């Protein structure tokens, strides 16, 4: 997917009004209507563009080098898996202006994702072994469909790898991730990121680069 000149102009306008502190949803509606943006372009703006200040603060926390040895990785599992699954299903994935990979599927709660989530989980575990991660804390939203099956599969996988995997299943685990006091977080959820003090590792970007070496759209 290419970024058109029309969409570049939409990004420019959206950024301008964001910096002026206009309400995000109002800006999105105005800019999307002005430039006749499609479903994916609207998602790119809303989830992929933030203010210069917020973008720089997040970028400065992203680990750009090799994953540090001996560090615990806190994984927001569904956030990571759905980005991987979106790529496998052919939905656009892109680098937001804060430097993190996100997807534009906007349909995580519907449709048949099970096969792609399963493949994404296998890809995730392979990449964790490639990174030589020794300990991971994996947070699962237990009300979500497939949560129990994924939790059971992770438990089985942990028996056959050198990884120490701790699984935390919670109706809403976001607060547990952002309250972690040591290690590194793997999520693109802005609420978690902005309230956490920990460094960020872009796990979906690493996994996709490792497996497929794609060229991502960069906003």
Q: Quickly count: other Cβ atoms within 10 Å of residue 38's Cβ.
A: 11
Instruction: Give, rounded to a whole angstrom, the gap between the first and last alpha carbons of the chain.
Output: 12
How high is the pLDDT of residue 109?
A: 56
Query: Over pLDDT 70: what percentage of the chain?
Result: 91
- Taking residues 127-153, what's their average pLDDT? 80
Q: Quickly count: other Cβ atoms within 10 Å of residue 133's Cβ.
A: 26
Which of 73-82, 156-165, 190-199, 202-211 comes out lowest in average pLDDT? 156-165
- Taking residues 183-209, what's their average pLDDT? 97
Query: CA-based angle 214:216:218, to the nearest 5?
Result: 165
Q: For tokens 């933030």, name the residue.
A: 50
The model's pLDDT over 154-190, given as tens digits with 9 standing for 90+, comes to 777 666 666 778 889 888 899 999 999 999 999 999 9
Is 90 exceeded by the pLDDT of residue 134?
A: no
Is the sign of the CA dihedral 146, 151, 155, 161 positive or negative? positive
Which of 69-78, 103-112, 132-141, 165-174 comes out lowest in average pLDDT? 103-112
The model's pLDDT over 82-95, given as tens digits with 9 standing for 90+, comes to 999 999 999 999 99
In which band, very low, low, confident or very high, does the pLDDT at 63 lie, cut at 50, 70 and 90? very high
In which band, very low, low, confident or very high, does the pLDDT at 108 lie, cut at 50, 70 and 90? low
């Amino acid at each position: 997917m290419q970024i058109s000149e029309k969409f570049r102009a939409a990004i420019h306008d959206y950024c301008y009004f964001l910096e002026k502190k206009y309400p995000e949803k109002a800006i999105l509606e105005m800019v999307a209507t002005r430039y006749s943006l499609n479903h994916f372009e609207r998602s790119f703006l809303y989830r992929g563009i933030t203010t210069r200040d917020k973008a720089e603060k997040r970028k400065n926390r992203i680990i750009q080098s090799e994953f540090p040895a001996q560090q615990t990785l806190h994984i927001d599992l569904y956030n990571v898996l759905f980005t991987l699954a979106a790529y496998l299903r052919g939905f656009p994935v892109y680098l937001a202006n804060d430097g993190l990979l996100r997807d534009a599927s906007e349909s995580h709660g519907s449709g048949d994702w099970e096969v792609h989530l399963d493949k994404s989980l296998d890809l995730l575990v392979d990449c964790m072994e490639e990174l030589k991660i020794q300990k991971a804390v994996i947070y699962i939203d237990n009300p979500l469909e497939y949560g129990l099956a994924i939790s059971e599969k992770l438990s089985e996988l942990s028996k056959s790898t050198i990884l120490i995997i701790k699984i935390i299943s919670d109706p809403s685990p976001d607060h547990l991730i952002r309250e972690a006091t040591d290690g590194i977080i793997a999520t693109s959820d802005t609420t978690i990121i902005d309230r956490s003090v920990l460094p960020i590792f872009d796990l979906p970007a690493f996994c996709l680069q490792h497996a497929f070496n794609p060229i991502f759209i960069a906003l």
